[in-house]
Amino acid sequence: MLILHISDLHCETYMLEKLLSTDDAKRADIIAFTGDAECDGETVDLLQSINKPVFFVPGNMDDIAVAKIFDRAGMNIDGKVIRQADYAFVGLGGISIISSLETAKEKLSKEKPGKIIVLSHHPPRNGVTDKARIGVSAGLVELRNFILEYKPVLHMHGHIHESPNYTFIGDTLVVNPGPLKRGRYAIIDVETRKAYLNTLY
């Protein structure tokens, strides 16, 4: 399964339109959007035009109105556990991360999720994909602990614009594609757990 991972669009919808016309977008099986869309209706329309499953979690810059528009489109998985193929996709949005974590944990406790893939806006603490401009690791310990407890195969996030990269926490691949507003995105091969960071220019 190939995932097109995008984040931090910040209303630069022309970048999304350009990306969706690429071969990378066309060959992807799923689009994962880890927040900070800021624009809502136009973004949703563009994502619907490619006719692929889209999983979205809101970022800290996305208000409730944005989240609701993605809700109505069936894309917002914040606080949800969604089955797709052999995987359970878990959404941990950036509007209220602690609330989303607790809701997701409660749902995971009621079922055998199998192989887990996580979308969050905020990064887990790791020192690679979460390094802010001043060199400080800005990732959340709570998300790192979630990874160590549930051992997902993949954790995708955004938020830290200056650290597009990937790393591992245990056996979990952690990917920050960088901001799509600057043309950055990632293609992730879930089976081989390899991430390819790309730009539109």
Confidence (pLDDT) at 62: 95
Strand 184-189 versus strand 194-199 pairing type: antiparallel
| Per-residue pLDDT in tens (0 to 9) along the chain, 201 residues | 999 999 999 999 999 999 999 999 999 999 999 999 998 789 999 999 999 999 999 999 999 999 999 999 999 999 999 999 899 999 999 999 999 999 999 999 988 888 999 999 999 999 999 999 888 999 999 999 999 999 999 999 999 999 999 999 999 999 999 999 999 999 999 999 999 999 998
Determine contact, residues 6/16, Cβ cutoff 8 Å: yes
7 Cβ contact partners less than 8 Å away, ≥ 6 residues apart: 33, 34, 35, 36, 59, 121, 156, 157, 158, 159, 176, 177, 178, 179, 180
Amino acid letter at 174? V
160 sits in which H/E element: none
Residue count (the chain) = 201
Domain-wise residue ranges, the chain: 2-199
CATH of domain 2-199: 3.60.21.10
Is 0.85 topped by the overall pTM?
yes
Half-sphere exposure of 129 (CA within 13 A, CB side): 28
